[in-house]
């Protein structure tokens, strides 16, 4: 009898357009919108690429030193790209390249004094200005050394000076703190997974409603059926949870495989986190749906607004809000279900240990047990005068 009831509950939920939209379709749409919006942000924050620049030497008498200095900046290594990609040309061609956005700027020498022409302000333009400032410092040092040696400076000495001045000394050792994805944009997708899990509360309300004979015709038939009440409750619960699991798996697969969102390497534990999150979503919905003297619309409104507000506090709408809450009122983050889900996902991605992940999971399970217990206590002795 359990599997018979389970099967028909699944069919009923699949045919319910409202639940299907909020549990499955809406998260996919929102994830697509997030990806479309944040892809433009991340593309503007890509890693450094070589800067194209034109150098005009028409009115310079010291072309050898100029070329030696800038050619040193255009050399690449196995680990790093070249700083500059240089094209030596005349004024007319350089201006045409700048107008067509083929280069970032023009460095022009008049009486060995450089000047920079750019089209707009930006990061690359600022780097070019720093490069030019460094060249001026280099040329001043060489001139001073030449004067102190009565105008004599050997080619070897010149090369040593250029090598020392054009290479940046690095006294900081880079150490990778984590192998996880540290892109802050991922927090939005963690919050999206949390919201999807908490939307299971909508199924919980429906599940509770269909167990009450005074709220639905289906509830009336279930109370009259010669079937153990616990069997009916469990079949409804696990059928609703199965639909939530399918929604979670579809969302995670869509984010990872279609949108190419890096949720971290521990995909199995990511799925586990979403499943535990769905458990608290479903159980909280059943709890609210079991509260007497509340209309169905009021119960749905409480669940929907509660899920969205919880997701808001976890960073779904405003990035970094949970970190501000942590400074002002950290107890909110310890109790907010959506924040617990996002923190669990974040800890899987960043930390090497499972301490924080375990705390979040245990807290979510405790929440679920409390909601299920309260729901059972409110409904176990319900009796009806007539049906």
Domains of the chain, residue spans: 2-39+184-379, 51-166
Q: Please give the Cα distance from 376 to 372 (Å, whole number).
A: 6
pLDDT in tens, 242-282: 999 999 999 999 998 898 888 877 888 999 999 999 999 99
Tens-digit pLDDT profile for residues 20-44: 888 889 899 988 988 887 766 554 4
Whether the pLDDT of residue 174 is over 70: the answer is: no
What's the Cα-to-Cα distance from 161 to each of 62, 89, 113, rounded to whole Å?
A: 16, 26, 20
What's the mean pLDDT in 191-217?
Answer: 79
The model's confidence at residue 296, banded by pLDDT at 50, 70 and 90, is confident
Q: Stretch 357-373: mean pLDDT, rounded?
A: 92
Q: Which CATH architecture has domain 51-166?
A: 3-Layer(aba) Sandwich (3.40)
Q: Contact, 117 vs 108, CB < 8 A?
A: yes
pLDDT value at residue 184: 67
Q: Specify which residues 277 forms β-bridges with.
A: none
pTM of the predicted protein model: 0.64
What percent of the chain has pLDDT above 70?
75
| Nearest-10 Cα torsion for 133, 135, 140, 141 | 120
DSSP annotation of 182 reads: -
Does residue 202 contact residue 285 with C-beta atoms inside 8 Å?
yes
The model's pLDDT over 82-139, given as tens digits with 9 standing for 90+, comes to 778 888 888 888 888 888 888 888 888 877 678 888 887 777 788 888 888 877 777 7
Residue 219 pLDDT greater than 80, yes or no: no
> Cβ-count burial of 262 within 10 angstroms (0-12 exposed, 13-18 middle, 19+ buried)?
middle
Distance, CA of 330 to chain centre: 22
Would you say residue 352 has pLDDT above 90?
no
The H or E element that residue 61 is part of is none
What pLDDT shows up at residue 169? 41
């Amino acid at each position: 009898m359990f599997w018979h009831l389970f099967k028909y509950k699944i069919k009923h939920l699949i045919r319910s357009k409202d639940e299907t939209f909020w549990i499955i379709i809406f998260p996919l749409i929102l994830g697509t919108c997030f990806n479309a919006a944040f892809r433009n942000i991340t593309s503007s924050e890509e890693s450094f690429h070589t800067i194209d620049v034109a150098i005009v030497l028409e009115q310079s008498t010291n072309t050898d030193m100029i070329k030696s200095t800038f050619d040193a900046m255009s050399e690449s290594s196995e680990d790093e790209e070249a700083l500059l990609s240089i094209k030596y040309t005349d004024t007319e061609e350089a201006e045409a390249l700048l107008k067509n956005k083929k280069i970032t700027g023009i460095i022009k020498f008049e009486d060995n004094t450089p000047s920079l022409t750019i089209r707009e302000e930006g990061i690359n333009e600022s780097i070019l200005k720093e490069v030019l400032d460094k060249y001026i410092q280099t040329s001043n040092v060489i001139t001073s050394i030449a004067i102190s040696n009565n105008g004599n400076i050997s080619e070897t000495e010149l090369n040593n000076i250029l090598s020392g001045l054009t290479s940046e000394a690095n006294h900081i050792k880079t150490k990778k703190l984590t192998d996880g994805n540290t892109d802050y944009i991922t927090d939005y997708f963690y919050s999206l997974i949390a919201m999807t899990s908490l939307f299971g509360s909508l199924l919980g309300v429906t599940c509770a409603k269909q167990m009450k004979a005074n709220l639905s015709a289906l509830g009336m038939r279930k109370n009259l059926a010669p079937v153990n009440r616990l069997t009916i409750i469990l079949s409804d619960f696990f059928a609703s949870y199965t639909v939530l699991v399918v929604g979670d798996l579809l969302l995670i697969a869509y984010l990872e495989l279609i949108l190419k969102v890096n949720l971290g390497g521990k995909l199995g534990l990511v799925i586990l986190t979403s499943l535990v999150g769905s458990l608290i979503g479903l159980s909280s919905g059943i709890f609210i749906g079991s509260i007497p003297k509340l209309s169905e619309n009021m119960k749905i409104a409480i669940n929907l607004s509660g899920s969205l507000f919880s997701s808001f506090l976890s960073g779904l709408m405003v990035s970094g809000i949970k970190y501000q809450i942590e400074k002002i009122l950290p107890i909110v983050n310890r109790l907010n279900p959506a924040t617990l889900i996002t923190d669990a996902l974040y800890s899987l991605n960043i930390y090497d240990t499972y301490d924080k992940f375990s705390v979040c999971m245990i807290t979510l399970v405790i929440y679920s047990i409390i909601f299920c217990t309260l729901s059972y206590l409110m409904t176990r002795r319900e009796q009806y005068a007539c049906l």
